[in-house]
Amino acid sequence: MKLRELGEDRLLTRLLPSLSIRKDVIAAAGDDCAVVPPPRGKNLLLLKTDCVVEKIHFSSTADPAAVGWKAMMRPLSDFAAMSGVPQFALITLIVPAARSTTWVKKLYRGLNKAAAQFDVSIVGGETSNTRGPAAISVSVSGFVEKARWVSRRGGKARDDLFVTGRLGGSQRGKHLRFVARIKESRWLTKNFAIHAMIDLSDGLGADLPRLAHASKAGFKIDMKSLPLSPGAKIDNAISDGEDYELLFAISPRDRNHLQKAWQKKFPKLPLTRIGSFLPPSSFIPHPFPSGFVHFQ
């Protein structure tokens, strides 16, 4: 069946009962807004929106469940970058009326599965027809404790720079399967003073300069230290993008303790020191390839 034969109300009626909703949600999809409890005590409210677009972020032949997974995990990766706890998601689905309802159901299955990984409730959504490629926008709200919030701005000269996981070659499949590093990020801020953090969505070559710029720092990278995905080369680690790993700055005094504790807590996930921040006047020693910059 095509979407145009079903109509929006009936589509949502079919999809919504399948969503797992936290018990603290007061009103979810089916009313004009979602009504949810606010962050408790002195916690701060976090908000993020992100989108995936057909033919840009996923191919038309991609498994719709994987597309849904990716659409949800992208904003969750931004929550990881701030060490936030995601709680509620809203979905905007822009899909041609000729698309099959099966495609949309599978997409929602992926959205829901990714949300469930972190106990996030899908509390509302909107659907629209389009005469072009499909697009899925996901906005997420949640909270972070005042003392654990990590911005891009707090890095200091001589901080160590660490990355989680391996970089490069995401297009071989990882970009549709990655898990936002929320667990790792929450552990980091529970146990260490993280000065600045960002998730690597556009590639180290684009995101590291952003982190450095926000922290008013220079940086140096030991290219040979970069943790490479199987089959990836240094250029891939710098420019491919869509790694969704964490890049963070931390005092070198914490280096030994961090590396030992990490190895014990996450034995399967590499944590690699790739360089350090420098005083702001320092030149970037390697001319970085430009990384993935939208519109270019």
Token pair for 215:
């922290």
Q: Which of residues 107-126 bind its own copies (CB under 8 A)?
A: 123-126
Hunting for tokens 């719709």 — which residue is that? 64
Our CB check for its own copies shows the closer of 1 and 267 to be 1
Q: Is 81 in the site for its own copies (CB under 8 A)?
A: yes
Q: Is 171 in the site for its own copies (CB under 8 A)?
A: no
Q: Is 100 in the site for its own copies (CB under 8 A)?
A: no
Our CB check for its own copies shows the closer of 8 and 63 to be 8
User: Helix (H, G, I), strand (E, B), or coil: what is residue 12?
Assistant: helix
Q: Is 151 in the site for its own copies (CB under 8 A)?
A: yes
Q: Is 9 in the site for its own copies (CB under 8 A)?
A: yes
Give min distance, CB of 129 to its own copies, in A: 5
> Site for its own copies (CB under 8 A): which residue of 199, 240, 243, 245?
199
Hunting for tokens 């829901």 — which residue is that? 112
Q: DSSP label at 43?
A: P
The closest alpha carbon to 29, from 125, 154, 137, belongs to 125
The closest alpha carbon to 71, from 20, 136, 142, belongs to 136
> Site for its own copies (CB under 8 A): which residue of 19, 67, 71, 88?
88
Q: Is 288 in the site for its own copies (CB under 8 A)?
A: no
The dihedrals phi and psi of 177, each to the nearest 5 degrees, come to -125, -5
Hunting for tokens 């995601």 — which residue is that? 86
Judge whether 145 and 113 are in contact, CB under 8 Å: no
* Stretch of 74-82, 162-170, 254-262, 280-288 lying at the interface with its own copies (CB under 8 A): 74-82
Q: Is 182 in the site for its own copies (CB under 8 A)?
A: no
How far out from the chain centre does Cα 273 lie?
A: 21
Sign of the CA dihedral running 223, 228, 233, 238: negative
> Site for its own copies (CB under 8 A): which residue of 15, 67, 91, 167?
91
Burial of 86: CB neighbours in 10 Å, binned 0-12, 13-18, 19+: buried
* Stretch of 14-22, 134-142, 263-271, 279-287 lying at the interface with its own copies (CB under 8 A): 134-142
Our CB check for its own copies shows the closer of 156 and 210 to be 210
Give min distance, CB of 198 to its own copies, in A: 6
Q: Which of residues 219-238 bind its own copies (CB under 8 A)?
A: none
Radius of gyration of the chain (CA): 20
Q: Count the site residues for its own copies by CB under 8 A.
A: 74
User: Helix (H, G, I), strand (E, B), or coil: what is residue 84?
Assistant: coil
Judge whether 76 and 138 are in contact, CB under 8 Å: no
> Site for its own copies (CB under 8 A): which residue of 78, 160, 245, 254?
78
* Stretch of 78-86, 162-170, 250-258, 264-272 lying at the interface with its own copies (CB under 8 A): 78-86
Give min distance, CB of 8 to its own copies, in A: 4
> Site for its own copies (CB under 8 A): which residue of 84, 168, 169, 275?
84
- Please state, in angstroms and as integers, the Cα–Cα distance from residue 56 to each residue in 51, 77, 88, 244, following that order: 11, 19, 26, 17
